[in-house]
Amino acid sequence: MDFELGERADDVRSQLREMLRAGVPDDFLGAFTDDPADLELTMRFCAELAEAGLLCIGWPAEYGGGDGTVWDQTVVREEMWAWHEPRGPQYMGVNWVGPAIMRHGTPEQKARHLPPIAAGSVIWCQGFSEPEAGSDLASLRTTATRDADGWLVSGQKVWTSYAAMASWCVLAAVTAPSEPTSRRLTLFLVPMDRPGIEVRPIASMLGPHHLNEVFIDELRVTDADVLGTPGDGWRIMRDALAYERVGIARYARCEALLERVREFLRDGWDDLPESVRTRWVRALIEIRVAKLLAYVAVGGEDGVDDAAASAARIVTTTLDQTVAELLFEALGSAALDTGTDAALHGAVEDHWRYAQAATVASGTIEIQRVITARDILGGR
């Protein structure tokens, strides 16, 4: 047994902390605000990370990565999430879009798409969910119809995070309506400025940019846009979703916020009800457990294991909500405060709202339980 992540990982962590201190202001709460400057900051920061060879440190060098280990990449994800994700929406490209293209893309697609992700200069979005296809993702209806020049796609996507910021989309569509799920769907890599795509933001308690509708009307796609082979969409989506589910180190922000709030409280810590402090201790233990289960999921021989990713996801998302409620308890009447006058510039309120969706986004925890139970017990 050895729980060391390796010397390089430790160096990466120190280097990242240095960069965060220098490049990310204290009141930064992520890119998904009404202030466009926050997105700009993340674009700059991604470029700096890429320049320092850190953004895609775990990727092979041939794709613009740093030939590092999965642990080096894990450290990046933890440090970024702990500081409100200064990669903004680009975490998705690093976590699952890039790996999906590496695993399933053509040489041309790899050459075209991986370098910009590794350079920190492109934002991707995920066009999977539809109004009628949430948990039952396989039943999606957006359809790509074959013609002489390729396909024409029409339909509607929903909940598409960062769609208005993105320049590319991994779009799922039906290409063989009468085939079973395993052959019915195809993924396309589509630029968001291609005619036929319209994005409408959705007002939500999570704040701006998290949720959008995407209307697709006779969007032209070609064979060159297909990720993998036509009909292989379902397999690639499931693979991609496993990467997505371990891609956000929520436990790292939980730990950082608990620490920052404890510092903020100073002597007030001693005045907290004993029950809050004992819950605090339990939360710290749960953070360790969540981290270890995430490590099990990413440390597999052949990429991210599906069932292990679901298990890690259940624990880290419920932890997120436990900690959100605990931090509200700790702040008492200051819990709901936002803005520059608020404790930690409103980081606790921001975290609470975003945590509410944790157990729904990337597949609900009920669906993660279905996947985990299938792994343990067999059956469907």
Partner 1 sequence: MDTRLPDDAGQLADAATRRFRRLGGVDAARRAEADPATRETARKALDELGVFDLDVRADADQLLAGAVLCRAAGAVVLPWPLIPHLMRVSGRHLVLIDPGHVRVDHGAVGLSWLGANVTGSAWPLEAGPPDVAGRLGPFVTGAVLGEEQPGRIDSDDIARYLTLQSWTILGALESALAEVTGHVRTRHQFGRALSQFQAVRFTMADVTIAVRGLEQLAKLTIWRLGRGDADQRVADAMALRLHAAETAVTTLRASHQMYGALGFCDETDLSVLDRHLQPSLRYPLSAERLARALVPFAGSGALTSRIA
Ligand X SMILES: Cc1cc2nc3c(=O)[nH]c(=O)nc-3n(C[C@H](O)[C@H](O)[C@H](O)COP(=O)(O)OP(=O)(O)OC[C@H]3O[C@@H](n4cnc5c(N)ncnc54)[C@H](O)[C@@H]3O)c2cc1C
Could you give the string, one character per residue 278-317, with x where binding to partner 1 holds by CB under 8 A and - elsewhere? Answer: -x--------------------------------------
Asked if 200 is part of the footprint of ligand X (rule: CB under 6 A), the reply reads: no
Using CB distances below 5 to 8 A depending on partner kind, what does residue 305 bind out of ligand X, partner 1, none?
none
Q: Phi-psi category of 176—alpha, beta or left, where left has phi over 0 and alpha has psi -120 to 50?
A: beta
Could you give the string, one character per residue 106-135, with x where binding to ligand X holds by CB under 6 A and - elsewhere? Answer: -------------------xx-xx----xx
Q: Scanning residues 329 to 348, which ones bind partner 1 (CB under 8 A)?
A: 329, 332-339, 341-342, 346
What DSSP string describes 228-290? SSTT-HHHHHHHHHHHHHTS--HHHHHHHHHHHHHHHHTTHHHHS-HHHHHHHHHHHHHHHHH
Using CB distances below 5 to 8 A depending on partner kind, what does residue 126 bind out of ligand X, partner 1, none?
ligand X
Are 168 and 241 spatial neighbours (Cβ–Cβ below 8 Å)?
no
Q: How deeply is 212 buried, as exposed, middle or buried, from its count of CB atoms within 10 A (0-12, 13-18, 19+)?
A: buried
Question: How far is the C-alpha of 198 from the C-alpha of 210, rounded, in Å?
Answer: 16
At residue 104, φ and ψ (nearest 5 deg) are -125, -10
Asked if 357 is part of the footprint of partner 1 (rule: CB under 8 A), the reply reads: yes
Candidates 111-119, 141-149, 274-282, 283-291: pick the segment binding partner 1 (CB under 8 A). Answer: 274-282
Asked if 208 is part of the footprint of ligand X (rule: CB under 6 A), the reply reads: no
Candidates 82-90, 144-152, 341-349, 361-369: pick the segment binding ligand X (CB under 6 A). Answer: 361-369
Candidates 32-40, 44-52, 191-199, 275-283: pick the segment binding partner 1 (CB under 8 A). Answer: 275-283
The token pair that represents 269 in the structure block: 């810590």
User: How far apart are the two ends of the chain, measured CA to CA in Å?
Assistant: 34
Q: Under rule CB under 6 A, how many of the chain's residues touch ligand X?
A: 19
User: Which residue ranges make up the site for ligand X (CB under 6 A)?
Assistant: 125-126, 128-129, 134-135, 159-161, 206, 210, 357, 360-364, 366-367
